[in-house]
Amino acid sequence: MNRFAIARPRTAEEASALLADGRFALPVLKAGGMDLLDRMKEGLVEPDLLVDVRSIGSGDAIADAGGAVRIAATATLAEIAAARLVRERAPALAQAAADAATPQVRNAATIAGNLLQRPRCWYFRNAQFDCLKKGGHTCFAVEGDNRYHAIFGGGPCHIVHPSNLAPALVACGALVHVTGGDRASIPIEALFHAPDRGITSEHELAPAEVVTHVTVEPAPRSGFHAVKAKQSFDWPLVLAAVAVTVEGGAIAAARVCAGAVAPVPWRLPRVEAALRGVRPDDDAALRAACSRATESARPMTGNACKLDLLPVAIARAVRLAAGVERAEADR
Ligand SMILES: Cc1cc2nc3c(=O)[nH]c(=O)nc-3n(C[C@H](O)[C@H](O)[C@H](O)COP(=O)(O)OP(=O)(O)OC[C@H]3O[C@@H](n4cnc5c(N)ncnc54)[C@H](O)[C@@H]3O)c2cc1C
Ligand code: SF4
């Protein structure tokens, strides 16, 4: 690992000024360090200044904001999973946080770091593979091991967005608040971009922009489900986050966002439309609506199993959202 200095700013504005400080060749924000330090150890990034945002005092990690939930950028996944406010108003987000990684990771990882972590593609994570995303000429996943890669929206790079929290925030509706640029907030869906709109990065933040907090709209009927090869220390093969309104026992409106299937959190409007009028306890109707999820999918050579797994994850998330089934943590 290279040598670097550490700064501990007291405000997000100070953090932003450090990112723009011309005395450093590569100043980088560090939160829990779960993603950044991995990449530094692998030699993928060599910052000469780490700006540790955990020193920023931002009041309560999680608070009420006129009905919405305000979550500080440095709130940990463990805090989000445990917070009563989140569990009541945005259960999909609490379930997404509880499901990610391991207890050790969840105790250190922050919401901003989770949204802005770099992809897990094993060719990207290995310094010996000079792939497209690192300025090379080849996507090694196309002919290589692509079982965790994209089935939607891929090409020329086929990563999946690695965050559990991003699809949950899309399903609930959230704003990401920032400082250091020319705007105060970004809708969560506009935070990310596909590889064809910039292959070397995954998000739309300007170089000196710092996430200060996230506000989440109340979505008390929301749920999240991830399918993994193993339940801990693993990344999902597919995941789904769903928010519904139910009237007279049937779904009146739904927001459905899939994860681990595309380079960005992937809204599924056909499923949203098909879910309208479905009674969440009617298994056959629910399955038929969720099967529409993969109509436009383009699996790679090794990940066709995602076509079977995704509708199952969505159906489970709908059942959790509608209260037909209870989340594991609540049992
Ligand atoms: C074994 C294992 C399993 C995992 N499984 C999952 C999983 O199932 N689901 C999942 O979602 N994640 C999973 N993860 C990833 C983990 O959740 C992330 O690495 C973690 O959330 C990153 O958060 P952090 O605070 O440590 O970020 P850091 O590593 O500190 O930062 C990550 C990035 O965010 C930027 N950043 C941080 N804070 C800000 C800010 N305020 N403003 C702007 N930029 C900022 C940093 O500059 C950096 O580029 C797993 C990790 C491990 C090790
Ligand atoms: S999927 Fe993207 S990150 Fe992975 S090898 Fe291909 S270009 Fe690189």
Cα distance between residue 89 and residue 184, in whole Å: 24
Instruction: Starting from the CA of residue 232, give the closest ligand.
Output: 1
- 121 Rama sector, left if φ>0, alpha if ψ -120 to 50, beta otherwise: beta
Nearest ligand, measured from the Cα of 262? 2
56 Cα: distance to centroid of ligand 1 (angstroms): 17
Which residue's structure tokens are 């309208």? 276
Residues 62/75, Cβ–Cβ less than 8 Å = yes
Ligand 1: residues within 6 Å at CB?
28-36, 53, 73, 100-102, 105, 108-110, 112-114, 116-117, 162-164, 210-211, 233, 235-236
Q: What are phi and psi of 166, to 5 degrees?
A: -60, -50
CA distance 62 to 282: 36
Nearest ligand 1 atom to the CA of 114 is: 21
Instruction: For residue 179, count other CB atoms closer than 10 A to its CB.
Output: 16
**Is the shortest distance between the CB of 141 and ligand 2 below 6 Å?**
yes
Give the pLDDT of the chain (331 residues) as one tens digit per residue. 889 999 999 999 999 999 999 999 999 999 999 999 999 999 999 999 999 999 997 689 999 999 999 999 999 999 999 999 999 999 999 999 999 999 999 999 999 999 999 999 999 999 999 999 999 999 999 999 999 999 999 899 999 999 999 999 999 999 999 999 999 999 999 999 999 999 999 999 999 999 999 999 999 999 999 999 988 888 999 999 999 999 999 999 999 999 999 999 999 999 999 999 999 999 999 999 999 999 999 999 999 999 999 999 999 999 999 999 887 766 6
Q: Is the peptide bond before 156 cis (omega within 30 degrees of 0)?
A: yes
**Is the pTM value of this prediction over 0.95?**
yes
User: From the CB of 140, is ligand 2 less than 6 Å away?
Assistant: yes
